[in-house]
Structure 1
Amino acid sequence: MTIWTRRNWMTLAALMGLGSVAIGAFAAHGAEPRAAELLRTGASYEFMHAMATFACATFMQVGARRARFAPAWFLGGIVLFSGSLYALAFGASPWVGAITPIGGVSFLIGWAILIWAARGVDQSPA
């Protein structure tokens, strides 16, 4: 039995959604302007990719089984992309910014997987 079930992906997506709202609220109520900008950007990307992870569950439900590969890329991207922006906002060394594009590439791979997965939906003639 694998731990990477649809249920666990959805649980992680919900946790990421919760985290994005918390970070966004913090950005709106007390961070200095540059830090607030970094936090808002990170929270926005975290939220949209948490929702994309939920979409993967729907994709799988309608027969696009290949969508099961995308959540790891989306959630990994959240950790790398959003996490590095959060770290920078809280005073991490500027070299941490070098991690951000790796997270962005991870998001792109996840979306490419969903494109591939979508090609498997409704393949039978109507």
Structure 2
Amino acid sequence: MNGRWILATGGGLVALATILGAFGAHALQARLAPDRLAIYETAVRYQFYHALGLLAIGLLARTMTETPWLRASAALVTVGIVLFSGSIYALSFGAPRGLGVVTPLGGMALIAGWIVFLVALLRA
């Protein structure tokens, strides 16, 4: 992933989080139990946080020397968003609880992505 694709991915994920947040606030409030709606909102919130961070990674990749560390960071954060928020979205809609094992894998990918980002900054 180069800087342009990192920015595009981050922008797309922010847009999707905006859509999903609005959907949750307007369409799901009457359809999901309060505990499931809270779970859904957690997925939206984490998607927003990390997608905004992905935009920061993309901006740095465009302004400083793009490195394999920045690309790896972006890839890990992207995978983390998909696994972490994606599994939480699915669980909020009643997916089998066994899918819950995916959530911490996504969390670990997010943490690893931000650690790799730190390494990229320290090596720059």
Q: Under a length normalisation based on structure 1, what TM-score does the superposition of the two structures give?
A: 0.85
1:124 aligns with none
2:13 aligns with 16
1:62 aligns with 64
Contact kept, 8 Å, 2:7 with 2:59, in 1: the verdict is: no
Greater RCO (Cα-Cα under 8 Å, separation 6 or more): 2
Tell me if 1:110 matches 2:77: no
For residue 63 of structure 1, report the CA deviation from its aligned partner: 3.5
1:84-95 equivalences under 5 Å are 84-95=87-98
Contact kept, 8 Å, 1:70 with 1:114, in 2: the verdict is: yes
Residue identity over aligned pairs, in percent, reads 31
Coordinate RMSD, CA, aligned: 1.4
Q: Under a length normalisation based on structure 2, what TM-score does the superposition of the two structures give?
A: 0.86
Aligned pair count?
A: 118
Segments of structure 2 that go 5 or more residues without pairing to the other structure are: none
Bigger Rg, which one: 1
For residue 100 of structure 1, report the CA deviation from its aligned partner: 0.2
1:40-72 Cα shifts (integer Å, max 9, x gaps): 111111111111111112322234622221111
